[in-house]
């Protein structure tokens, strides 16, 4: 393999690494913002939907878990 070709491949790998790091930084910032937002608390509701029970799901009688999960961020009162 020629040195120019090897250099091109290394440059491409370096570019990919920079893109991955940039995407990671954006993801981490979003996660930090979410954690700050929910620091005051969240409300989680499990709502039964559809037919069947949890036992039916775990026994394989139905294919979908008969629950819906709602997550609400509690607003801070001033």
More confident call, 11 vs 73? 11
- For the chain, give every domain's residue range: 1-39, 40-78
Of 26, 53, 20, the closest CA to residue 67 belongs to 53
pTM above 0.85?
Answer: no
Tokens in use for 62?
């139905």
Give pLDDT tens digits for 33-68: 888 888 878 888 989 888 888 899 899 999 988 899
Q: Which long-range contacts (CB under 8 A, 24 or more apart) does 32-40 make?
A: 37/73, 38/73, 40/73, 40/74, 40/75, 40/76
Give pLDDT tens digits for 8-27: 999 999 999 999 999 999 99
């Amino acid at each position: 393999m020629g040195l120019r070709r090897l250099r091109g491949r290394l440059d491409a790998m370096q570019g990919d690494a920079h893109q991955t790091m940039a995407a990671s930084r954006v993801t981490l910032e979003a996660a930090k913002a979410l954690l700050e937002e929910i620091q005051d608390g969240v409300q989680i509701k499990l709502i039964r939907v559809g037919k069947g029970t949890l036992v039916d799901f775990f026994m394989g009688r139905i294919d979908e878990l008969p629950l819906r999960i709602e997550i609400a961020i509690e607003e801070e009162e001033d």
